[in-house]
Amino acid sequence: MGSPYKTVTPIVASYRVTKDALGVSSSPTNRTMRQIFSHKDWLFCTNSFRYDSPDKPGLFVEDREFSLNNYQDIITNNNRNNSEIALSLSMPLQNTLCSHPLKPSHTQSSAIKNSSTQNNVSPVRNYIDHLLSEIKLVSTLIPKTRTVNYIHWQGDIAQLLSPAEMTEIMYSLNKAFTLQSEQQGTYVIELEKVPADDSIIALIKGLGFGHICLGTQNRNKEPIDFKFLSRQVSIFKQYGFKTVNVRFLIDKHESCDQLSKKLDGLIAINPDTIYLIDENEHHSVLSGIEAESNEHKRACKCHNTFEKKLTQSGYQKLNHVKFSKDRIASKGISGDLIGLGLGATSLIENAFIHNVDQLDQYYQKLELKQLPFSYGGYIRPQNPI
């Protein structure tokens, strides 16, 4: 059984190959929180308040001496405070995954050598196997006394996996870590597309997810099908999800008046949280320009008007992008964030760690029983203005 979606369109790449890779003789790179999470939009939106502010974005400085051993030591040392843990799972874009040549792991090679079954291993299955290996490696560093209170699945995961594969991954997480119950924990799943079968929605709920993050609205200035979107929100509510959240792009639009009408339609649907996303700022992040130097260059001059519209409609401003009607939605990451998967980011205390961005490197490191570490660094205190 394949993906439960009618069509699976590769998400527009926000992949970024690090130009100043480890080993290159150059000064450390400064990255804002927005750059660290540049290809993890929902994760940034839901948790940026802990590391970021509109006036002083969190600034991370890459440390050329930061190693895999440093990463492992930070996790081990932080086990002493017994704080809660957040897990974020990422999956590569579909086109990246499908174009990657299949290479069986060392342990698989002898078993499938001269066997026709080698060609039957799908790229998705190959990636899942390596992801499960990473989960096991990370879990050996974390005692069972530390609980996982936050799980985040990025949007392309649900699109690419079958129900059995989704169940397998959640089962593996539950076996490797101590997960809080659905009532206690905050388990978030992104859905760029709505499953073609309602039973998949029931499965997602049954796996423990209580929060839905729907695909971005107003992308490419296209009309929003409010009737369909309203039906989506209603269905998720009927299945008992705690919050249903949407992102709304407020840059690059026909006119502020037309965009305001779209926002009115979105408010009428009554999602729990609406995130106002400035696409101009987003593109500056992806281009590698420091976000704090571009704060004054917002293309959309009606941002403040939209904020006022939301607050008057009963939405509370929780940070510079997040407006919510439900206090449950404001609960984000309170402990260490550990990223799992290709290009995943971990944030532990004042340190950040980034997994490799290249699929072949990701596979190679895991087949050598190593965590797929790429680079790391620390938060640099902001200089007073």
Tell me: the pLDDT tens digits for 330-366? 556 777 899 999 989 898 888 889 999 899 999 999 9
How is residue 300 written in tokens? 């959309």
Task: Say yes or no to pLDDT of 21 above 50.
Answer: no
State percent of the chain over pLDDT 90.
39
pLDDT higher than threshold 80 for residue 180: yes
Task: Take residue 84 and report the two structure tokens written for it.
Answer: 């809660």
Q: Report pLDDT for 372.
A: 97
Average pLDDT over residues 178-194: 88
Q: What is the 3-state secondary structure (H, E, C) of 286-340?
A: HCCCCHHHHHHHCCCCCHHHHHHHHHHCCCEECCCCEEECCHHHHCCCCCEEEEE
- The model's pTM: 0.80
The band of 253, judged by pLDDT with boundaries at 50, 70 and 90, is low
Structure tokens belonging to residue 103: 């290479």
* CA distances for 373 relative to 66, 114, 178, angstroms: 10, 33, 23
Q: Which residue is it, tokens 């974020």?
A: 88
| CA separation for the pair 298, 320 (Å, rounded) | 13
Average pLDDT value for residue range 271-281: 78
- Residue 287 has a pLDDT of 31
For the chain, the distance separating the N- and C-terminal CA atoms, rounded to the nearest angstrom, is 57
Q: What is the mean pLDDT of residues 242-265?
A: 85
User: Which residues, 6 or more positions from 377, have their beta carbon under 8 angstroms from its beta carbon?
Assistant: 28, 31, 60, 61, 62, 63, 66, 351, 352
Q: Which is nearest to 168 in space by CA: 157, 152, 178?
A: 157
Q: What's the sign of the alpha-carbon dihedral 331, 336, 340, 342?
A: positive
**For range 116-132, the mean pLDDT:** 79
Q: Are 274 and 243 in contact (CB under 8 A)?
A: no
User: Confidence band (pLDDT; 50, 70, 90) for 272?
Assistant: very high
Interval 34-53 mean pLDDT: 60
What pLDDT, on the 0 to 100 scale, is given for residue 332?
Answer: 66
Decide if pLDDT at 286 tops 50: no
Query: Distance (Å, rounded) from C-alpha 334 to C-alpha 84?
Result: 7
Name the band, by pLDDT with cuts 50, 70 and 90, for residue 239: very high
Of these ranges, 126-135, 232-241, 256-265, 290-299, the one predicted with the greatest mean pLDDT is 126-135
Q: What is the mean pLDDT of residues 111-116?
A: 42
Of 203 and 111, the structure prediction assigns the larger pLDDT to 203
The predicted pLDDT at position 315 comes to 94
Contact yes or no for 359/17 (Cβ under 8 A): no
Give bridge partners of residue 32 from the DSSP assignment.
Answer: 59
pLDDT in the model for residue 33: 58
pLDDT of 207-220, one tens digit each? 999 999 888 788 77
Number of H helices, E strands in the chain: 14, 15
Selection from 40, 57, 49, 84 nearest residue 324 by Cα: 49
Neighbours of 255 (CB within 10 A): 9
Taking alpha carbons only, the member of 45, 64, 71, 114 closest to residue 333 is 45
Query: Which amino acid, 289?
Result: I
**Tokens read off for 12:** 């527009």
Question: Comparing 180-184, 251-255, 270-274, 364-368, which segment has the lowest mean pLDDT?
Answer: 251-255
Does position 100 have pLDDT exceeding 60, yes or no? Answer: no
Percent of the chain with pLDDT over 70: 68
**Quick one: pLDDT band at residue 116, thresholds 50, 70, 90?**
very low
Per DSSP (E only), the strands in the chain are 30-32, 59-62, 85-89, 147-153, 178-179, 186-191, 211-214, 243-249, 273-277, 316-317, 322-324, 336-340, 345-348, 351-355, 373-380
Q: Are 357 and 342 spatial neighbours (Cβ–Cβ below 8 Å)? A: yes
- Whether the per-residue pLDDT at 221 is higher than 70: the answer is yes
Give the model's pLDDT for residue 122.
86
Task: Report the half-sphere exposure of 155 (CA within 13 A, side-chain side).
Answer: 23
Average pLDDT value over all residues in the chain: 77
Which of 3-17, 246-260, 303-317 has the highest average model confidence (pLDDT)?
303-317
Task: Give the tokens for residue 243.
Answer: 């919050």
Instruction: Rank 37-51, 216-230, 302-316, 357-371 by mean pLDDT and report only the highest.
Output: 357-371
